Amino acid sequence: MTQQEQTEQILRRRMHGLYLSRTCRELDTLSHELMGLHSWFYRNVAFSALIRGADIAGWKTRLTKTWLYRGTLHGVVYDDVPELLALHPGESYLSGMFGKAVLEEIANDVVRYMEDGVNSRAEFRRIFSGQYGGEMIDVLFSPWGGIFVYLARQGRVAFRDMTSRDFDLISAEPTETFEEVLPRLVRRFFAAYGPATLADAAWFLGFWKAEANVLKKLPLDDLVQFEHNGTRYFCTDEVETADIPELTLLSGFDPYIVSYSDRGAVIPAEHKSKLILKSGICNPSIAINGRVAGIWNIVKNEPVVEFFEKQPKRIVSEATARVDAIRWRVK
């Protein structure tokens, strides 16, 4: 098998695992198997699900929106939250600013106020303004999360729903240790995202170097393994997969794009800046034969597609029609 043929085989297996060459009707099943759907922009969850054939009825409240790996927001099945949070329990940049003891005291105060019905950043800023100066208030109740990231990563709060900026109390604290959940979650990653490398797994799970080194020590002999371009790849099993679709819509921050440390097989280097902006935003995109060939958007409620290179009219028409078919279903 040539290197190119092996690359095609890898992409075919990934598209199968990520439900891009087959469908997944159940939103909960999709979110569980993919270990969450990226939700920095909440509509990404709905678009990602629709593209994969899922029923999104009630999607705004069916998944729990919280911060997970890589410090990013995901829509996840509520019962999965404790296990996923066990990878990074209570991590927060605020610990270095306030100290853990003070930060925990502030967090407990926030929880007590939430029990009394307070749940918006604006209300908390007003309440705590007498205790802390403006700069500290801006940090604690930042639009980027602040103290709520700390509480969310303890499993104590989550967003009210996929579209809300307010929070509700939850009870999803991790009940297992990092060492207990790691082998299980690594296998879940390779089941959905494989074939992939240990570097891919470390990137997806948000590991720093020390944590990434732990992956190298895990017993993974039960996984299918092979070498490609001098690097070892892992997946859970060998399955019959459909051919790579000629045309595939991908959501913004699609798992097919953002879940891997090495994206060279699917993103042309000369067009990467059009897909992933300097701000870190990953645009909705269009893949042709498994490789990103353009981007799409909805502008003034109309579908807009832009290919990096000239494509046949039927491809442009088909891509536009697919965007048009999903745009009206997401409010």
The helix/strand count (H/E) of the chain reads as 16, 11
Q: What is the C-alpha separation between 308 and 294, in angstroms, rounded?
A: 5
CB-facing half-sphere around the CA of 96: CA atoms within 13 A: 3
Sheet strands side by side (includes 37-38): 37-38, 73-76, 64-67
Q: In this structure, are residues 270 and 234 in contact, taking their beta carbons and an 8 Å threshold?
A: no
**Which has the closest alpha carbon to 90: 187, 138, 157, 183?**
157
Number of neighbouring beta carbons within 10 Å of residue 299:
7
Q: Give the pTM.
A: 0.94
Query: Taking the domains of the chain in order of start, what are their residue ranges?
Result: 94-152, 247-327
Contacts 24+ apart (CB under 8 A), 222-226: 223/187, 223/190, 223/194, 224/194, 224/195, 226/195
Query: What does the pLDDT read at residue 143?
Result: 85
Give a three-class secondary structure readout of 172-187: CCCCCCHHHHHHHHHH
Q: What is the pLDDT of residues 268-278, one digit of tens each?
A: 999 999 999 98
Mean pLDDT of the chain: 93
Q: What is the pLDDT of residues 92-104, one digit of tens each?
A: 778 888 888 999 9
Residue 152 has pLDDT above 80, yes or no: yes
Residue 239 has pLDDT above 80, yes or no: no
Q: In this structure, are residues 229 and 3 in contact, taking their beta carbons and an 8 Å threshold?
A: yes
Beta strands in 196-236 (DSSP E): 224-228, 231-235
Residue 176 has pLDDT above 80, yes or no: yes
Q: What is the C-alpha separation between 35 and 189, in angstroms, rounded?
A: 8
Residue 175 has pLDDT above 90, yes or no: yes
Cα–Cα distances (Å) from 258 to 131, 280, 295, in that order, read 40, 11, 15
57: confidence class by pLDDT, cuts 50, 70, 90: very high
Query: What does the pLDDT read at residue 182?
Result: 95
Helix (H) or strand (E) holding 111: helix 100-115
The distance from CA 177 to its chain's CA centroid, rounded to whole angstroms, is 22
